[in-house]
Amino acid sequence: MKMNGAQMVLSCLEAEGVDVVFGYPGGAVLTLYDEIYKKGLRHILARHEQGAAHAADGYARASGKTGVVIATSGPGATNLVTGIANAYMDSIPLVAITGQVARPGIGTDAFQEADITGITLPITKHNYLITELQELPRIFKEAFHIAGTGRKGPVLIDLPKDLQAEEGEFVYPERVEMPTYRPVYEGHMGQVSKAATAIRKAKKPLIYSGGGVVSSGAHAELLEFSQYARIPVTTTLTGLGSIPCQYEYYLGMPGMHGTYAANHAISNADLIIAVGARFDDRVTGRLDTFAVNAQVIHIDIDPAEIGKNVIVAIPIVGDVKMVLRELLKKLKPGDTAAWCKQVLSWKKDRPLRYQQMPDAPLKPQFVINELYRLTAGDAIITTDVGQHQMWAAQYYHLERPRTFITSGGLGTMGFGFPAAIGAQVAFPGRTVICIAGDGSFQMNSQELATAACYNLPVKVAIINNQYLGMVRQWQEFFYGSRYSQSCLAGSPDFVKLAEAYGVVGLRARTVDEVPEVIKAALQTAGPVVMDFSVDPQENVLPMVAPNTSIVEMIGGDTP
């Protein structure tokens, strides 16, 4: 079939099952956008390319599909960089399509030219500059294959403007032929057997679960593994939801803002089974004090992660869902009764806690607890980055995977709201709540127009403390309370800002107003912004100071 390059792109997307794309047009992609118009492909017009990238990311995290984002050349492409880096750090499948100047102009500093493949080389699994039309179908097939297999991640395709108008024969490949890219899915059976033996012998084993469990869809296997072997579980920030929060042997999140039970379990365990986790510094604290009494079994699809940060006794490269299934076949439970009794006593005696007095300023934890109570935990939660992110992780109790969407590795302020838009596009009938800080929300608040124009019923809960809260907290603890440039006094009235975009705005300042505002928001058909004025001095506790052991916890660790 003969067609031009832009038509080929849409045919490739159709072949890959893509039914929605996020983007922002410009000169170098006008031919492509003309074909989108003719074809009727569903397109969500963001109000900034970064917002489009985060929306595609949120769509991917919620749905498990590969997100697609389109931008023009030059500044349009570079505005995607933060979103691409965010997806790369958290292993999210994303295909970014960027326009490029016409092929004769490449390398001449033409108008709106940027070497986007060079710029994104360190933050993509792979990227392509298409220079020959006949390469286009193969490259798209490879891009979706790379993005959605192995350790998932973003792939960028740079598409010159003149190539989009050039005509040629289109044949979409049935299969991918990439001899140098062959992810390993099945774990080595000898290593699996060694792991089963080590688990049976261990007296104090602990499961450390990460985002790879969510990505692999291995949550059912993880729960069965923990139940059968009677092993407690802790999860990373991006692993939240991979085990039900109400599960008896779930200890919460470990690390810098982790629970007493999780941090002390890691420090006292004799065996750690890491499942789809990468031993991030926010979890480990000071490495030479991390899990010093434990052997480590590390199950991960990316061999580069195994042994990168901690010494691993039993490495298993493979898809965690497949490996856990094989491990369950070989496993015989050990004697963990005394250990389970110990960790459950830590969990009971030293829970996360706060105190909300009726006439006192609002506590952020109370607001998030009310969100949880009034949604019965049945919502997709997205967050921005900062104090509110940690409070959401601590106090919104998750029971299912793909219901907590947050920027883990890159820590991107401005991620939460556009990500919520993407999640709402993926699941129009679900309740989607973005828990945001007043600082983070302002970084992509223009996406209120997107939510309004598409009538996407995203509910935004702004934890408004008039500060860059986490920055202020660090300045209080480690910089002598010198609050340099962290006060956000002068921020807009968020209710009026919402109304300016045609969105309902609500405000709560007192304890009694919080549930009423949340109920009103949930009963509103369209998007809503809720502004919760909270105590500006409240800190996220517990907290582990930088370069210290995770058992050296500031606050929140006493019975």
Residue 440: phi and psi, rounded to 5, are: -60, -45
Q: Which two tokens stand for residue 117?
A: 């493949």
Q: Is residue 111 among the annotated active site residues?
A: yes
Say if residues 157 and 16 touch (Cβ distance below 8 Å).
no
* Residue of 8, 16, 22, 49 with catalytic role: 49
Contacts for 492 with CB less than 8 Å, ≥ 6 apart: 442
DSSP structure class, residue 112: T
Q: Is residue 112 among the annotated active site residues?
A: yes
Say if residues 186 and 329 touch (Cβ distance below 8 Å).
no
* Residue of 1, 111, 134, 308 with catalytic role: 111
Q: Which two tokens stand for residue 421?
A: 């838009």
Q: For the chain, how many residues are written?
A: 559
- Whose CA is closest to 146, among 56, 66, 58, 62? 66
Q: Rounded to an integer, what distance in angstroms lies between the CA atom of residue 49 and that of residue 71? A: 7
Q: Is residue 3 among the annotated active site residues?
A: no
HEC-encoded secondary structure of 455-475: CCCCEEEEEECCECHHHHHHH
Output the CA–CA distances (angstroms, integers) from residue 271 to 250, 274, 346, 420, in the order listed. 17, 10, 18, 37
* Residue of 470, 530, 543, 553 with catalytic role: 470
| Side chain identity at residue 42, one-letter code | R
HEC-encoded secondary structure of 210-270: CHHHHHHCCHHHHHHHHHHHCCCEEECCCCCCCCCCCCCCECCCCCCCCCHHHHHHHHHCC
β-pair partners for 528: 459, 504
HEC-encoded secondary structure of 168-203: EECCCCCCCCCCCCCCCCCCCHHHHHHHHHHHHHCC
Q: Rounded to an integer, what distance in angstroms lies between the CA atom of residue 344 and that of residue 251? A: 8
DSSP structure class, residue 33: H
Residue in the structure block whose two tokens are 């004799």: 270
- Whose CA is closest to 9, among 207, 465, 394, 23? 23
Residue in the structure block whose two tokens are 């092993």: 231
DSSP structure class, residue 66: P
Handedness of CA 180, 192, 89, 427 (dihedral sign): positive
Q: Which two tokens stand for residue 27?
A: 């000169």
* Residue of 125, 141, 152, 161 with catalytic role: 161
Q: Which two tokens stand for residue 360?
A: 């006192």
Residue 89: phi and psi, rounded to 5, are: -65, -30
Say if residues 239 and 307 touch (Cβ distance below 8 Å).
no
Longest dimension (CA), the chain: 72
Output the CA–CA distances (angstroms, integers) from residue 57 to 92, 234, 425, 428, 496, in the order listed. 7, 25, 12, 16, 29
Q: Is residue 470 among the annotated active site residues?
A: yes
* Residue of 7, 50, 100, 112 with catalytic role: 112
Q: Is residue 387 among the annotated active site residues?
A: no
> Which residues does the annotation mark as catalytic?
49, 111-112, 161, 470
